Structure 1
Amino acid sequence: MRTATRRLGIVTALVIAAAGAMSVASRADDVSHLAAVHGTAPEFAGIDHWLNSPPLTMRELRGKVVLVDFWTYGCINCFHTLPHVNDWDQRYRGKGLAIIGVHTPEFPNEHVTANVKDAIARYGIHFPVAQDNEYATWNAYGNQYWPAFYLIDKKGHVVYTHVGEGDYEQTEAWIEKLLAEKD
């Protein structure tokens, strides 16, 4: 029942988040307006393991555009977003984009680091992945859904969020806009 309720909640959240993201983005003349709406990005908290990277902090990532991607390998919607996320990593990493996957498990088998490593290899993920088994980073962001993107500007402010699949062109446009901004 918990899973069915959570999945039903995801559908509802997708509709609400899509409308909310569109309305915030359409009202914004510049990124500073969105930073005021969303606030400073929380630090990564309670990470069990860092995969593909040594431990990272938001402070260390200042000066880069950061895409925090909450996902879990058993989520079909997350699986569908990964080709886009992998493509952004490949195309924009050298231009200042840092993608951090935050793997927050839904089911017991998703807590196992070896399973997460297998999924990372299977999906061709080369960006850092933080294993958030205790939901500490998930809770710090106030996140409730898989997948969820939080796009953070060079100053460390969350300026764009998206829940679920889709709107890849809009997300990429925000990435390009933020990368083009002066430091």
Structure 2
Amino acid sequence: MISRLRIAAVAIGLAATAGLAAYASSEEPSGGSAALQTGAQAPNFTGINNWLNSPPLDLKQLHGKVVLVDFWTFDCINCAHTIPHVKELDARYRDKGLVVVGVHTPEYSFEHDTGNLKKAIRQYGITYPVAQDNGYATWNAYGNQYWPAEYLIDQNGKLVYTHFGEGDYAQTEQKIRDLLGIQGKQG
């Protein structure tokens, strides 16, 4: 009897592992991409399902601008905590040469729904461009692994700064100010 129970437990474990692997391969990032390194040319937005708050953007057309790429998903509590700071950066520096692009890469199946994403954008009061990256194409191009994640790109399209998770808001803002050539006190 014990050996049958062990066999059953192993079979259930293998079936669960296979099921999780199938789920992961269909909905999760590949993890095979190397993380984008500081100084590297930033990859373009690729595989975007929809653009919200903006027509489609291309990094080539943003040449000469400082670009903050913010990877987020609307049901992530850490993302919810960072959104006010990202919105503040957008409001403060948009007219000075900063372009904020939120790349919404969903973690859960309900986050793939464009209607749900539009509702979240309204709820959070996001006015900057949002790229819906349901297939993880842009996420994988950046080698990203985190929500939230910020990638700061200079006027020549090179990655100059990254930050993962919450916090370091003043440091991120100072990097933006440095790239924009803004002197003096923050805020």
Tell me which interval the TM-score lies in, with the shorter structure as reference length: 0.7 to 0.9
- Aligned 1:114-133 pairs, distance under 5 A: 114-133=115-134
CA distance in 2, matches of 1:52, 1:122: 14
SS of corresponding position for 2:100:
strand
Distance (whole Å) between structure 2 residues aligned to residue 86 and residue 36 of structure 1: 25
In the superposition, the TM-score normalised over structure 2's length comes to 0.77
Q: Structure 2: how far apart are the matches of 1:88 and 1:138?
A: 22
In the alignment, which residue of structure 1 is the partner of 2:29?
A: none
1:148 alignment partner AA = A
For 2:164 and 2:41, how far apart are their aligned partners in 1? 19
Given that residues 38 and 158 in structure 2 are in contact (C-alpha distance below 8 angstroms), is that contact kept between their aligned partners in structure 1?
A: no
Alpha-carbon distance in structure 2 between the residues aligned to 1:37 and 1:79: 26
How much has 1:38 moved relative to structure 2?
A: 3.4
> Residue 45 of structure 2 corresponds to which residue in structure 1?
44
Note the C-alpha offset of 1:158.
0.4
Give the paired residue count.
149
Letter in 2 for 1:126: T
Separation in structure 2 between the aligned mates of residue 172 and residue 103 of structure 1, nearest angstrom: 21
* Alpha-carbon distance in structure 2 between the residues aligned to 1:176 and 1:164: 21
Q: Which is helix-richer, 1 or 2? A: 1
Larger radius of gyration: 2
Percent of aligned positions that are identical: 64
TM (norm. structure 1) is: 0.79
CA-to-partner distance for each residue in 1:152-178, whole Å, 9 max, x for gaps? 000000000000000000000000000
Unaligned runs of 5+ in 2: 1-16, 21-35, 183-187
SS of structure 2 residue aligned to 1:127? coil
